[in-house]
Amino acid sequence: SAVISQKPSRDICQRGTSLTIQCQVDSQVTMMFWYRQQPGQSLTLIATANQGSEATYESGFVIDKFPISRPNLTFSTLTVSNMSPEDSSIYLCSDKITGIGELFFGEGSRLTVL
Amino acid sequence: GENVGLHLPTLSVQEGDNSIINCAYSNSASDYFIWYKQESGKGPQFIIDIRSNMDKRQGQRVTVLLNKTVKHLSLQIAATQPGDSAVYFCAENHFSGGYNKLIFGAGTRLAVHP
């Protein structure tokens, strides 16, 4: 399995600001994904981070709000833009070695927006 | 903790009893399923998986059952221990838009009492 490190692990942010979360994997992986977990809820897929091209977003998520980069096979970033209290969530980076298989998760980045 | 599982259904069991956690999935074309365990403050951890060409798979103290007729998945934990207390999520693999994506179910909180 690939070990995933996320930064920051937690942050408190002001309304209207933006925050970029970094995800580093310790080995090359084929696919990386970003999930959101709102308080007390399950995980919702935000987007698939594609290496060298634009991310593929799920319904309800748009690039202007959640721009994603993946410059290489081991690194991705998710920005939460123009934050509001409704964006307070855990944001989780995950990766996969093969097409069909388990996802490995980082510990998540816990954002609180005031 | 971060209120993981605060709003989720709860299964309460006595230490030493067997636990059964159920999940209904949505897509009859899903071909791969995973159970994850999420402890407070951590990312989801893989427990066990099963492909759609199987109806049962066993691991150490855990068994996953798949009933494709009614789109139902269950996780059985034998001799439940306090360390099993966590939120459990099922996830199904969707192939959509050229990608394999894991879509998570609602989750169940397991509370183990001494």
Whether residue B36 is contained in a domain is answered as: yes
Helix (H) or strand (E) holding A111: strand A109-113
Whether residue B5 is contained in a domain is answered as: no
Whether residue B1 is contained in a domain is answered as: no
Whether residue B17 is contained in a domain is answered as: yes
**B77: domain range?**
10-113
Give the residue extent of every domain in chain A: 18-98
Which residues on A lie below 8 Å from B6 (Cβ)? 39-40
Whether residue B3 is contained in a domain is answered as: no
Which residues on B lie below 8 Å from A104 (Cβ)? 46
Tell me which residue in A40, A43, A104 faces B89 most closely, judged by beta carbons: A43
| Architecture in CATH for domain A18-98 | Sandwich (2.60)
Q: Tens digit of pLDDT for each residue in A84-107?
A: 999 999 999 999 876 667 888 999
Written as tens digits, the pLDDT of chain B (114 aa) is 444 555 689 999 999 999 999 999 988 889 999 999 999 999 999 999 999 999 999 999 999 999 999 999 999 999 999 999 999 999 998 887 777 889 999 999 999 998
B55: CATH: 2.60.40.10
Whether residue B44 is contained in a domain is answered as: yes
Tell me which residue in B93, B97, B107 faces A100 most closely, judged by beta carbons: B93
Which residues on A lie below 8 Å from B3 (Cβ)? 39-40
